[in-house]
């Protein structure tokens, strides 16, 4: 089936399936000098409208770059299937305690460290802890199709969810079946 002939729901279902195994992404931002910088980040959660959320340290260049230009790209890859997802979107920084609490995992402490001043403890209450939320403008993903032994090679399929379909997804009562 061609991506052009897929319904929005079929695209959503396919994206949910591909995202199940993806927990890390390369998060790309643009510096004030125009340079693109990518870093690996652990995905905190994905909601039913594919808003991607992360825990981050607000004392980094990444935050400065998002404040300069909120347009970002998230690139996910699963080497076991060769499926990938590319999200072009807009990032926003959040200091909302409820949002941060919902994303926080004990392993996140490793990214902050205790500075020994009683304030910067590396815990969820540390003032360096913030959330980044990325709202997609468009999403492209690749679904690998594996051939049966002795069969013809099957390459895969590129699926595009353009902005107009992202707005349809926002209005759908669908649930993201991701494990995030």
pLDDT at res. 150: 53
Backbone angles phi, psi at 4, to 5 degrees: -65, -25
CB half-sphere exposure, 46, CA atoms < 13 A: 26
pLDDT at res. 162: 87
pLDDT at res. 168: 86
Q: Which of these ranges, 4-13, 20-29, 82-91, 165-174, has the smallest mean pLDDT? A: 165-174
In a domain, 135, yes or no: yes
Work out how many domains the chain is built from and give that number.
1
In a domain, 49, yes or no: yes
Residue 31 pLDDT more than 90? yes
Question: Which of the 8 DSSP states describes residue 111?
Answer: G
In a domain, 39, yes or no: yes
In a domain, 166, yes or no: yes
In a domain, 178, yes or no: no
pLDDT at res. 149: 54
In a domain, 180, yes or no: no
Distances (CA, A) of 10 to 5, 6, 13, 127, 162: 10, 6, 5, 41, 14
Residue 76's domain comprises: 3-171
Determine the 3-state secondary structure of 149 from DSSP: coil
Instruction: Give the integer Cα–Cα distance in Å for 158 and 37.
Output: 25
Contacts of 46-49 with C-beta under 8 Å, sequence gap 24+, read 46/19, 46/176, 46/178, 46/180, 47/176, 48/172, 48/173, 48/174, 48/175, 48/176, 49/169, 49/170, 49/176
CATH of the domain at 156: 2.30.110.10
In a domain, 148, yes or no: yes
> For the residues 85-110, what does the mean pLDDT come to?
96
Residue 28 pLDDT more than 50? yes
In a domain, 87, yes or no: yes
> For the residues 127-147, what does the mean pLDDT come to?
91
Higher pLDDT, 16 or 2: 16
pTM of the model: 0.84
């Amino acid at each position: 089936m061609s991506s052009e002939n897929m319904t929005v729901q079929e695209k959503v279902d396919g994206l949910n399936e591909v995202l199940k195994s993806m927990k890390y992404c390369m998060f790309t931002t643009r510096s004030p000098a125009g340079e693109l910088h990518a870093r690996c980040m652990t995905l905190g959660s994905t909601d039913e409208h594919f808003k991607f959320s992360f825990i981050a340290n607000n004392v980094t260049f990444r935050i400065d770059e998002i404040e300069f230009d909120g347009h970002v790209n998230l690139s996910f890859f699963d080497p076991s299937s060769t499926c990938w997802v590319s999200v072009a979107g807009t990032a926003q920084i959040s200091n909302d305690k409820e949002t941060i609490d919902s994303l926080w995992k004990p392993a996140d402490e490793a990214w902050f460290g205790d500075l020994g001043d009683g304030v910067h403890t590396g815990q969820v209450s540390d003032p360096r802890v913030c959330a980044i939320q990325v709202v997609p403008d468009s999403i492209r993903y690749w679904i690998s199709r594996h051939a049966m032994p002795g069969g013809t090679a099957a390459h895969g399929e590129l699926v595009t969810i353009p902005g107009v379909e992202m707005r349809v997804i926002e209005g759908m009562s669908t649930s993201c079946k991701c494990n995030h």
